[in-house]
């Protein structure tokens, strides 16, 4: 489930997310030579280490999705189609909201003053961020952008989950059935890869580079 994040780092030059020694967006080469350091008077050779890109909250949510997906099924009443693993879908949606927030923070990093924050405050809900705010910024919706990058099924899944989650919140929990849970799990990794592709398309080559692992609190203290 966390596979898309394994070995993923931010390019120090353009902020793209990649895992090779050469950045696929700007071509910068990373120096992965071992580091020599004196420790307690002895010269030690240490492997080059870089901060992984995965945000802590993403790690925690993916771990919980894994736990919930393995929950053993119990006998359930016949009158409901609500999946016993419905939390998988709710957790995925929370994960997605966290990632979309990080995407905008990085994309708006060069806007003057507090403009980026103000725009996000004007569009506090995920629906507005995926459509109106995205349209105004990049002239298409997030789903259409995903489709352009070849993530057709993932774009459809996100639309389905959004509708089901809204129905759930407004009194129809049965909108999250086993079929949707299975679909979410089977597309979990590719949906994250889709998000990474969009990040690299929309959030790189800024003067200010905001890593996605940086918490909102720390981002605020930078300004």
Q: Which residues bind Zn ion (CB under 5 A)?
A: 11, 13-14, 16, 23, 25-26, 28
Closer to Zn ion by CB, 25 or 111: give it.
25
C-alpha torsion sign, points 126, 188, 148, 156: negative
**Crossing angle of helices 188-202/87-107, nearest 10°?**
10
As measured in angstroms, the least distance from the Cβ of 27 to Zn ion is 7
Nearer to Zn ion, 26 or 156 (CB): 26
* Shortest separation between residue 33's beta carbon and Zn ion, angstroms: 19
The tally of CA atoms less than 13 A away on the side-chain side of residue 1 is 19
List C-alpha distances in Å: 183 to 60, 151, 153, 157, 188. 21, 14, 10, 8, 8
In whole angstroms, how close is the CB of 191 to Zn ion at the nearest point?
Answer: 24
Cβ closer to Zn ion: 66 or 206?
Answer: 206
Identify the CA nearest to 55 among candidates 217, 214, 218.
Answer: 214
Residue with smaller CB distance to Zn ion, 14 or 161:
14
Q: What angle do CA 171, 176, 181 make, to 5 degrees?
A: 160
Least distance to Zn ion, CB of residue 210, Å: 15
Q: Which is nearer to Zn ion, 58 or 204 (CB)?
A: 204
Total Cβ atoms within 10 A of residue 52: 15
In the complex, what is the shortest distance from the CB of residue 200 to Zn ion, in angstroms, rounded to a whole number?
A: 9
């Amino acid at each position: 489930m966390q596979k898309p994040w394994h070995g993923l780092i931010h390019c120090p030059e353009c902020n793209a997310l990649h895992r090779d020694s050469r950045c696929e967006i700007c071509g910068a080469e990373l120096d992965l030579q071992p580091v020599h350091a004196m420790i307690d008077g002895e010269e030690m050779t240490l492997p080059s280490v870089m901060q992984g890109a995965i945000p802590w909250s993403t790690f925690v949510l993916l771990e919980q999705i894994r736990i919930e997906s393995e929950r053993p099924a119990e006998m359930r009443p016949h009158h409901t189609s609500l999946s016993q693993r419905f939390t998988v879908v709710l957790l995925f949606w929370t994960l997605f909201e966290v990632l979309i927030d990080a995407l905008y923070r990085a994309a708006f990093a060069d806007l003057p003053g507090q403009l980026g924050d103000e725009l996000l405050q004007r569009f506090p809900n995920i629906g507005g961020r995926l459509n109106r705010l995205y349209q105004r910024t990049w002239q298409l919706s997030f789903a259409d952008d995903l489709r352009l990058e070849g993530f057709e099924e993932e774009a459809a899944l996100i639309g389905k989950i959004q509708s089901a989650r809204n129905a759930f919140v407004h009194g129809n929990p049965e909108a999250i059935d086993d079929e949707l849970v299975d679909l979410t799990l089977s597309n979990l990794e590719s949906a994250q890869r889709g998000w990474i592709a969009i990040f690299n398309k929309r959030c790189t080559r800024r003067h200010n580079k905001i890593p996605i692992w940086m918490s909102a609190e720390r981002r605020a203290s930078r300004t």
